[in-house]
Copies of this chain bind each other. A is one copy, B any other.
Amino acid sequence: MTDVLRVALAGLGTVGAGVIKLLDANRELIERRAGRPIEVVAVSARDRSRDRGVDLSRFAWEDDPADLAAREDVDCVAELIGGADGSALALARDTLAAGKSFVTANKAMIAHHGLELAEAAEKAKVALKYEAAVAGGIPVIKGLREGAAANEITSVYGILNGTCNYILTEMEAKGSDFADVLAEAQRLGYAEADPTFDIDGIDAAHKLAILASLSFGTALDFDTVATSGIRRVIAEDILEARALGFKVRLVGTAEAAGGKLFQRVHACLVPRDHPLAHVAGSLNAIVAQGNFVGRLFFEGAGAGEGPTASAVVADLIDIARGEYGPAFAMPHARLTQAEAIEAGDRRGRAYLRFTVHDRPGVLAEITAAMRDANVSIESMIQRGGAEPSEDSDDVVSLIIVTHEGPERCVIDALERLKGAQSLAGEPMLMHILDL
């Protein structure tokens, strides 16, 4: 290894180009902080000719990213290709097997294969770093791995997807419906052409599983993250939530209790005085609750060229400084296997929206189901339509907020109401964040 940290970049999309721009712009400062220069020496991407606003002629080019790992002039590979498997994973394995440090912004790959890669990095005594994989520029991986390392973390939760948060805050600001805001976000480039990963909560679930492992010392467990998104949130939900003192946010929540683990990504109601309620637009934010430090809150840009590049280069600086250890804060063999907590076993409050026929007896049918399922109602709002009558085709919304109780009771109540004559559509359930 020479004095220079020689980096290969795989993937030259927004983030890859951003890393090159950052290393150019802050070169002297980074060299002072890292203790030695950090230089890109080789790159690989699908299309060599595309204009990325950076001069690539200085770098060696590899058509196949897999060839970067073996280059003798490379100390360390930064992977910015994406995708849980495929060439990204192959490159990660090859790099670590070659005894070189590996940096990635790839949340899907870390969520699915992080444990295997952590083991490979330990064996090779090199770094596996992924600050950019969670919440873009916010140094939350470092904050949990190191800053809060003295604490037993009991919960970690936050706003982990900027696209969803942008859509929800736009819906809030304009009273628009989901589909309209999504279309506008796609037009502006804030949402992908295929937005599934974002709006169905999968992207947030990847990040949550990583945060949970790091926070609780449990092995990565993406498969048990109960994941839903924001497709079913309507303008009325946001309006009613506001009237009740809440904002609607897509929140990833992970909790550890008695050696067990609960992980969920869901649209939920956040009390107006909770720090997450103030997180607007495409920002991300994470809360960690530690047994000595109390509540820590981190906020910043969760995506984009500059913030993500900032996180990738922070990892490179750590590597240049030699300041790194096990990827998940402890050797992979010391991570525990945690059983998943059933949602039904949790306690909480819930927001329910029923789309009901505007007929007599509707309230009685729904409240009876609540009673039979032992759900206690904290508040109920029905905004009147016209006078109800037996043959009315009108539908109105009925909003119920429950008292705190076992989630299984709410699930049971909804089960009892399946096929009920009163209902004109699928009920909407959002949990209330009372952390």
Contact = CB atoms under 8 A, between A and B. Distances in A.
A325 B35 contact: yes
A25 to B, nearest CB: 7
A349 B331 CA distance: 52
Interface in A120-149: 131, 137-139, 142-143, 146-149
Interface string A32-52: 111100000000000000000
A292 B149 contact: no
A79 to B, nearest CB: 17
A203 interface: no
Interface stretch (A86-94, A181-189, A312-320, A361-369): A312-320
Given A138-B296, A293-B137, A300-B297, A310 B278 contact: no
A374 B250 CA distance: 49
Contacts of A30: 149-150
Interface in A270-296: 275, 278, 290-296
Contacts of A312: 150
A201 interface: no
Contact count band on A: 35 or more
A61 interface: no
A2 interface: no
Nearest to A22: B292
A296 B137 contact: yes
A293 to B, nearest CB: 4
Contact of A314 (B35, B147, B152, B331): B147
Report which residue of A18, A32, A217 has the largest number of chain B beta carbons within 10 angstroms of its beta carbon.
A32
Contact of A292 (B138, B275, B306, B317): B306
Contacts of A371: none
B329 A307 contact: no
Contacts of A306: 291-294
Contacts of A26: 150-152, 291-292
A298 interface: yes
Contacts of A380: none
B323 A150 contact: no
A346 interface: no
A29 B217 contact: yes
Contact of A143 (B143, B150, B152, B322): B143
Contacts of A326: 35
B323 A146 contact: yes
Contact of A307 (B33, B217, B294, B311): B294
Nearest to A307: B293
Interface in A95-116: none
B323 A25 contact: no
A143 B139 contact: yes
Nearest to A25: B291
A330 interface: yes
5 contacts: A35-B326, A131-B147, A138-B296, A298-B298, A323-B323
